[in-house]
Amino acid sequence: MKDQVKIVCGVLLAVFMNCCASETPPETRPPNVLLIMTDDQGFGDVRVHGNDSIDTPVQDRLAKEGVRMNHFYVSPVCAPTRASLLTGRYHYRTGTTWMTRNGEAMRSEEVTLAEVFKANGYATGCFGKWHNGAHYPQNAQGQGFDTFVGFSAGHWNRYHDTDLEVDGKMQKVKGYITDVFTEAAQRFILDNQDQPFFAYVPYNAPHTPLIAPESLFEKYRHQGLSIRNASIYGMIESVDQNIGRLLRTLEETELLDQTLVIFMTDNGPNGNRYRAGMKGTKSSVSDGGVRVPCFFYWKNQLKGGRIIDELTAHIDILPTLVDLLDLQPIPTLPLDGISFAPLLHEESAVFPDRTLYTFSTNRNKYKGSIRNRQFRLTVNGADNYALTRLMSDPGENLDLKEELPAEAEKMYRDYLRKYEEVTDGLGAFLPIPVGYSQAPLVELPAHEGFPSGEIRFQSSAQGWGGDWFVNWHSEQDTIYWNVDVVQKGTYRISLRYSCPPEQTGSEIQVRAGDASTSAVLADPFIGEVFTNREQMSRGRVANDQTWGELNVGVIELAAGEQRISLCAKKIAQQEVAKIKGLRLFSEK
């Protein structure tokens, strides 16, 4: 739980700032912030960075008329970047260690950008991919956002006419998902145009599934691009058009001069394409995997057309915004980032020579990198590393560790020291929180569960978001979820499943400690598979489908961390069913 002192301080500050805001003329009120982040768009996926094969006129405008952070670094994959962006801390410190199985969740005591803005009297909204915890208080609204339209998993299987979470409830939405997120952000801007707002728009494009608007896909195919890259570039251009829509909304409401617009991406490109000569793609700790576009555009406030070559990173965004916007700081956990606001204001500002660290995911100690103004050291294994010059060798072609052994050894030891520091006290994946009044329904999805025996995920051993369990043939095999019940209570349990008529009749049981409840899977349910307009198969998770729901009964859950297990007391035929997960409904 959040530190109670911090909560009280934040509430009092928010009351004070709201009172002040109500008496402040619009022209002197605090500036708004529109923070846009795309998913799997690399440094080379904008035309302004030398890629003549892609059209991104709006992003190019932000770069050319704004301040371009030319050496801006993030994490190798999505959830860690988001945790560091929101908290100003290296992702391992926040509890975020992986991309699925609830390893993407960050601890609820982390203080986020949204909480800082909220305490300063801002309306806060998130529209897109959250990916830092699906359950309250780890979800977007538990971490400071007044409103949320989007999804919490690492990817979303449907880009057209899908279901999205809208302020805690799933709703059907119409249209292409990038457009849907834009329209939600536009409504938020219009609804809050008379008060300062922080709009965080983390688009999920161009992450798989690869589904671009057909006209844009055909445009790039006609240019001779592969199916994969034509789809990705079409998705990126669609995002570009939608950013243009957001800017027009700011112009029409006369808020553009009062709004700081930030554009960035979460990691390197999801595939082998133009990378401005850099080594590596998504998941790589080399520059191609972690150096991304970052543009600060604030009309009539920041002098545009400047390129900043100092080393900056996602961990710097929180302290930079507090400094740049003169926000009242609130207590946070110790930050790793530093403010680069002076660089945004002055071309000649002095900025410290610093060291930036990149950590891989899933506690891979011997995969990481470390940078300063001169060198980049890439760690490939125990005592296995390469030293290259940062600015002059983007492809990391010339290994200098034999020429400069002392420098290489020093940076390697520094990296290991920092790794031990940021992972100190890091436990297992966070359990799923249960028992909060703000979340009377808790989903236990398959991709956050742990199978035993021959049960496996449909897609792969990873258990990606949207996955389900298959191959349940033995009564000795089980599935379990780790939960943390904050307050004991009574819960109604339901099972989400798919089962043809010839497989019905199995008896399943849900256990938690000494408590249990059972039901017979008597009714068949064959899910309707949703059509996905993919231009290229992902090779990961099959298309979404509908699921049946079986009332298993009521169970008493004691307070504390524990396992909820799903067992088969009897398997009637060869297999129990496809298992999508459990649902827990509070019976208070």
Asked whether residue 568 carries a pLDDT value surpassing 80, the answer given is yes
Q: For residue 418, how many other CB atoms are within 10 A of its CB?
A: 18
pLDDT at site 4:
43
**Helix pair 177-191, 227-252: axis angle to 10 deg:** 10
Report how far residue 573's alpha carbon sits from residue 520's, in angstroms, rounded to the nearest whole number. Answer: 13
Residue 439 lies in a domain: yes
CA distances from 54 to 176, 261, 274, 278, 282 (A): 21, 22, 10, 18, 19
Q: Which residues on adjacent β-strands are paired with residue 511?
A: 516, 565
Of 350, 369, 393, the residue that ends a domain is 350
Single pTM value for the model: 0.95
> What letter represents residue 449's amino acid?
G
Residues 6+ apart with CB under 8 A from 454: 471, 472, 473, 474, 477
Asked if residue 310 and residue 268 are part of one domain, the reply reads yes
Question: What is the CATH classification number for the domain harbouring 545?
Answer: 2.60.120.260
Task: State the average pLDDT over residues 156-171.
Answer: 95
Supply angle C-alpha 448, 130, 544, rounded to 5.
55
Task: State the average pLDDT over residues 297-305.
Answer: 96
Q: HEC states along 151-219?
A: ECCCCCCCCECCEEEECCEEEECCCEHHHHHHHHHHHHHHHCCCCCEEEEEECCCCCCCECCCHHHHHH
pLDDT at site 533:
75
Asked whether residue 78 carries a pLDDT value surpassing 90, the answer given is yes
**Shortest CA distance to 429 belongs to which of 450, 460, 406?**
450
What confidence tens digit (pLDDT) does each residue in 249-262 have? 999 999 999 999 99
pLDDT at site 588:
74
Task: State the average pLDDT over residues 49-75.
Answer: 98
Q: State what percent of residues in the chain have pLDDT above 70.
A: 94
The end-to-end CA distance of the chain, in Å, is 21
Asked whether residue 454 carries a pLDDT value surpassing 60, the answer given is yes
Which domain range does residue 564 map to? 432-586
What confidence tens digit (pLDDT) does each residue in 466-521 have? 999 999 999 999 999 999 999 999 999 999 999 999 999 999 999 999 999 999 99
Asked if residue 186 and residue 225 are part of one domain, the reply reads yes
Question: What is the CATH classification number for the domain harbouring 402?
Answer: 3.30.1120
**Shortest CA distance to 419 belongs to which of 79, 86, 93?**
93
Helix (H, G, I), strand (E, B) or coil at 422: helix
Asked whether residue 266 carries a pLDDT value surpassing 80, the answer given is yes
Residue 451 lies in a domain: yes
What confidence tens digit (pLDDT) does each residue in 367-413 have? 999 999 999 999 999 999 999 999 999 999 999 999 999 999 999 99
Question: Taking a C-beta distance cutoff of 8 angstroms, is the pair 422, 90 a contact?
Answer: yes
**Shortest CA distance to 458 belongs to which of 447, 448, 469?**
469
pLDDT at site 1:
47
Asked if residue 171 and residue 60 are part of one domain, the reply reads yes
pLDDT at site 332:
97
Report how far residue 531's alpha carbon sits from residue 543's, in angstroms, rounded to the nearest whole number. Answer: 7
pLDDT at site 346:
84
What φ, ψ does residue 251 adopt, rounded to 5°? -65, -45
Helix (H, G, I), strand (E, B) or coil at 579: strand
pLDDT at site 460:
79
pLDDT tier, 28 (very low <50, low <70, confident <90, very high otherwise):
confident
Strand 515-520 relative to strand 479-485, pairing: unpaired
Q: HEC states along 512-539?
A: ECCEEEEEECCCCECCCECCCCCCECCC
Of 308, 326, 350, the residue that ends a domain is 350
Q: Which helix (H) or strand (E) covers residue 411, if one does?
A: helix 405-422
Task: State the average pLDDT over residues 72-77.
Answer: 98
What confidence tens digit (pLDDT) does each residue in 209-221 have? 999 999 999 999 9
Report how far residue 195's alpha carbon sits from residue 28's, in angstroms, rounded to the nearest whole number. Answer: 11
pLDDT at site 348:
77
Residue 19 lies in a domain: yes
Question: What is the CATH classification number for the domain harbouring 39?
Answer: 3.40.720.10
pLDDT at site 337:
98
Asked if residue 404 and residue 328 are part of one domain, the reply reads no
Residue 297 lies in a domain: yes
Supply angle C-alpha 296, 298, 303, rounded to 5.
85
**Shortest CA distance to 329 belongs to which of 571, 108, 120, 21?**
120
pLDDT at site 342:
96
Asked if residue 48 and residue 174 are part of one domain, the reply reads yes
Report how far residue 143's alpha carbon sits from residue 162's, in angstroms, rounded to the nearest whole number. Answer: 25
pLDDT at site 11:
40
What confidence tens digit (pLDDT) does each residue in 315-348 have? 999 999 999 999 999 999 999 999 999 999 987 7
Extended beta strands in 228-345, E state: 259-265, 291-292, 294-297, 306-313
Asked if residue 264 and residue 182 are part of one domain, the reply reads yes
CA distances from 398 to 5, 26, 284, 377 (A): 52, 55, 18, 12
**Shortest CA distance to 486 belongs to which of 110, 108, 95?**
108
**Alpha-helix runs per DSSP H in 423-538:** none
Asked if residue 578 and residue 529 are part of one domain, the reply reads yes
pLDDT at site 29:
86
- The label of the residue with tokens 């960050």 reads 106
Asked if residue 96 and residue 209 are part of one domain, the reply reads yes
What confidence tens digit (pLDDT) does each residue in 228-239 have? 999 999 999 999
Asked if residue 387 and residue 329 are part of one domain, the reply reads no
What is the count of structural domains for the chain?
3
Asked if residue 227 and residue 192 are part of one domain, the reply reads yes
pLDDT at site 349:
84
CA distances from 337 to 38, 128, 165, 354, 394 (A): 21, 25, 31, 11, 24
> What letter represents residue 452's amino acid?
S
Report how far residue 325's alpha carbon sits from residue 323's, in angstroms, rounded to the nearest whole number. Answer: 6
Asked if residue 240 and residue 289 are part of one domain, the reply reads yes
Q: State what percent of residues in the chain have pLDDT above 90.
A: 90
Residue 286 lies in a domain: yes
Residue 172 lies in a domain: yes
Asked if residue 129 and residue 112 are part of one domain, the reply reads yes
Residue 427 lies in a domain: no
Residues 6+ apart with CB under 8 A from 370: 355, 356, 357, 358, 376, 377, 379, 411, 414, 415, 418
Of 350, 383, 399, the residue that ends a domain is 350
pLDDT at site 541:
58
What is the length of the chain?
588
Report how far residue 194's alpha carbon sits from residue 162's, in angstroms, rounded to the nearest whole number. Answer: 32
Task: State the average pLDDT over residues 27-42.
Answer: 93
Task: State the average pLDDT over residues 445-463.
Answer: 93
Residue 496 lies in a domain: yes
What confidence tens digit (pLDDT) does each residue in 418-448 have? 999 999 999 989 999 999 999 999 999 999 9
